[in-house]
Chains A and B, each alone.
Chain A
Amino acid sequence: MKINSVRIPNINKRKIIESLGKNKRLNNRGLLDYRDMNIELGISKNAEGSARVKIGKTEIIAGVKLSTQEPYPDHEDEGTMSVFMEFSPLCGERYESGPPKIDSIEIARIVDRGIRESGFIDWKALCIKKNEKVWSIMVDIYCINDDGNILDASSMAAIAALQSAYFPRYDEKEEKVKFGEFTKNKLPLTKNIPFQMTFYEIKENLLLDADREEEDISNGRFTITLSQPKNEKIINALQKGGKSAFSSQEINLMIENSEKIYDTYFLKIDNQIKKLIKTKN
């Protein structure tokens, strides 16, 4: 839960805007660069899959738990997924404990949409018995240290955790999940891995991966989730956030840039995750 009593000093605000006028960020990054990223898998043994993602000083952990449930009546042979996101009060002085508020609900829903719409998960393969029982995937995302751009870090952590997850054993006779006993079966995932990136607008500059101060100054943000099933990149989710307006040129520019950013970062991150999974086995 976020409280709004913490504001950034005007002098920092002026400095950031001033240097953006010269096309520069205070931290010397390019406008469309991510900070250094670090991914770790298997951070919690009891989870079916888990990951820690650090982007600069921002730290997010995500865990995947599996259980079974009755399918939804309109998707009688498909598994389900729910994504939860919470700002733990230890992640920054502006957060207090309490049930997730709209800021974390929005993040969870954006991450959920990207994963769902990209076709990353093969829902039909999660069916145990049509009309009766399907697997349900629960993804829990927690912020451990907030230094801006929680959105992209959350998505990255959720996707890494899903990729590292193994099914627990399902006892067919008892029709029960044996929690704590892991099988060697991975989740039915496809190659359509979504990649989410968020642009923050500060005085008509559009910058990627804002840190805490930049995010506090920015009036609006725009989140794009891309995947590339074949040769063409597909937009799977969009979300305009914040209280500002974008022109259609700006939107087009961001979509154009998002393709370049996808090309620069996606393979790097994906290879890192694949390597981590390999070394774990």
Chain B
Amino acid sequence: MVYTKRTDGRKMDQLRPIKAEVGIIPNADGSALFAYGDTVAIAGVYGPKHLHPQHLQNPEKCTIRCNYNMLPFSVTERARPGPNRRSKEIALITENALSTVVDLDRFPGTVIDVEIVILQANASTRCAGINAAAMALAHAGIVMKELVSSVSIGKIDDKIVTDITKEEEDHDLGGGATDIPFTICSNSKKIVHLQLDGKIPTKRFNEAIDAAISACEKINQYQIRALKGEKIDENK
């Protein structure tokens, strides 16, 4: 069977309804919520602050420390609470992506803690998490060279689709499902995070990059609107 129509009726390059908001956690220096449809991520930022233990300090640069936490009830079958290998990897790639855009030279020896919590999961949780984290950093007033936006592009059967859902991720007919999460800078369009899980012919990879860039441009607009104080909720 050829994948001609998406299971939720979206166009191939259409994002799910977006929810975006900043300032959701009063205690945090910066905080944000970002949701792709049923995937809801929140992020809180604390810092720049003193880094303990001292031997972790970098006298030349600020360190970004990420945590990614999927709540036990965010998935269909309860997930064991606490960190696991998957969450550690996602925290690392998030750290790497954010470190490229934050002006780290400004705050030598300090740390910025970025906490990402997934409240509800339906694929692309890492992308929603990175989007929320980038907004939270900006909301905290931390100097950044540019924003980053993240989206997962999929190859379902032989179609390149934007922002895939769990149902699409599990598609096993025809060419199967390939998940390609991207994180792209808003101005320079540099790719600061890229993963791939599945199979895609080398000749078609360009299509995925193009789809990612155009999706990230849209997401960037949502992020900016939310940072200006708008509460975006397209579900309504």
Contacts and interface: CB of A to CB of B under 8 A. Distances in A.
B161 interface: no
A61 B119 contact: yes
A146 B121 CA distance: 24
A46 B42 contact: no
A88 interface: yes
A70 interface: no
A65 B72 contact: yes
Given A93-B46, A145-B27, A88 B73 contact: no
B113 A84 contact: no
Given A43-B120, A63-B72, 18 more contacts: A44-B40, A44-B73, A45-B122, A46-B121, A46-B122, A65-B72, A84-B81, A88-B115, A90-B31, A90-B46, A93-B49, A97-B83, A140-B73, A142-B71, A144-B42, A145-B27, A147-B26, A179-B77
Given A90-B25, A97-B83, A46 B120 contact: yes
Contacts of B72: 63, 65, 84, 138, 140
Given A65-B73, A144-B42, A86 B120 contact: no
B74 A47 contact: yes
A91 B27 CA distance: 7
A92 B46 CA distance: 8
Given A44-B71, A97-B83, A142-B117, A57 B44 contact: no
B78 A145 contact: no
Contacts of B83: 97
Q: Sort A-B residue pairs by CB-CB distance and give the 3 closest, nearest first.
A: A63-B73, A90-B44, A90-B115
A60 interface: no
B78 A44 contact: no
A99 B83 CA distance: 9
Contacts of B38: 45
Interface string B67-103: 1010111111110011100000000000000000000
A242 interface: no
A180 B120 CA distance: 13
Nearest to B31: A90
Given A44-B119, A145-B26, A140 B42 contact: no
B82 A57 contact: no
Given A47-B73, A63-B73, A97 B67 contact: yes
Contacts of B113: 89
B185 interface: no
A144 B25 contact: yes
Interface string B13-28: 0000000000001111
Interface of B: 25-28, 31, 38, 40, 42-44, 46, 49, 67, 69, 71-78, 81-83, 113, 115, 117, 119-122
A90 B43 contact: yes
Nearest to A61: B119
Contacts of B42: 90, 144
A207 interface: no
8 contacts: A43-B119, A48-B73, A65-B77, A90-B28, A92-B27, A140-B71, A140-B78, A145-B25
A227 interface: no
Given A45-B38, A88-B69, A90-B28, A138 B76 contact: no
Contacts of A196: none
Contacts of B31: 90
Contact of B27 (A61, A147, A179): A147
B44 A45 contact: no
A82 to B, nearest CB: 10
A67 interface: yes
A64 interface: yes
B74 A99 contact: no
A43 to B, nearest CB: 7
Given A90-B44, A144-B42, A145-B27, A46 B81 contact: no
A50 B119 CA distance: 10
Contacts of B122: 45-46
Contacts of A86: 81
Contacts of B28: 90, 145
A67 B46 CA distance: 36
Nearest to B40: A44
Kindly name the residue among B38, B77, B121 whose own CB sees the greatest number of chain A CB atoms within 10 A: B77
Interface in A163-202: 179-180
